[in-house]
């Protein structure tokens, strides 16, 4: 009986640990562009960011858009645009950070960046 209970405990712990390793990760980035950022530059940033879904492995979904919330908190912080990326797991998110296409997209937006906030959490 003890062997059976220990075996069940090992199986349950393994299942929990494997499940934790494979949780999807939600990556959110909020941006504010510098005042002198042109419409064309903002469009180039959008194109670079939206193109990552097809270039970086492990991205389940990717959306980018302009802030539309009427909430006071959204207005108070002044973020103008948001990027939301769902990754298959933490390893996919970690690979994204150093992926050449992500680095290239960051290089497109960096000269225009006034403020940024990033938040990741497991789904």
Structure letter (DSSP) for residue 89:
S
Q: Which domains does the chain carry?
A: 23-122 (3.30.70.100)
Q: Which residues pair with 42 in a beta bridge?
A: none
Helices (H), 2-122: 2-21, 39-50, 52-55, 72-77, 90-98, 100-109
CA torsion 36→42→43→49, rounded to 10°?
150
Tens of pLDDT, residue by residue over 46-100, are 999 999 999 999 999 999 999 999 998 888 889 999 999 999 999 999 999 999 9
Q: How far is CA 80 from CA 11, 67, 98, in A?
A: 47, 5, 25
- The overall pTM is greater than 0.75: yes
- What per-residue confidence (pLDDT) applies to 109? 98
């Amino acid at each position: 009986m003890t062997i059976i209970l220990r075996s069940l405990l090992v199986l349950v712990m393994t299942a929990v640990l494997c499940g934790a390793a494979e949780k999807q990760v939600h990556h959110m980035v909020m941006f504010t562009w510098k005042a002198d950022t042109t419409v064309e530059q903002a469009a180039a940033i959008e194109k670079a960011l939206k193109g990552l879904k097809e270039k970086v492995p492990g991205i389940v979904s990717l959306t980018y858009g302009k802030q539309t919330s009427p909430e006071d908190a959204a207005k108070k912080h002044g973020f103008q645009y948001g990027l939301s990326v769902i990754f298959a797991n933490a390893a996919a998110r970690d690979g994204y950070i150093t992926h050449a296409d992500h680095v290239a997209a960051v290089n497109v937006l960096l000269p225009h960046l006034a403020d940024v906030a990033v938040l990741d959490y497991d789904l």
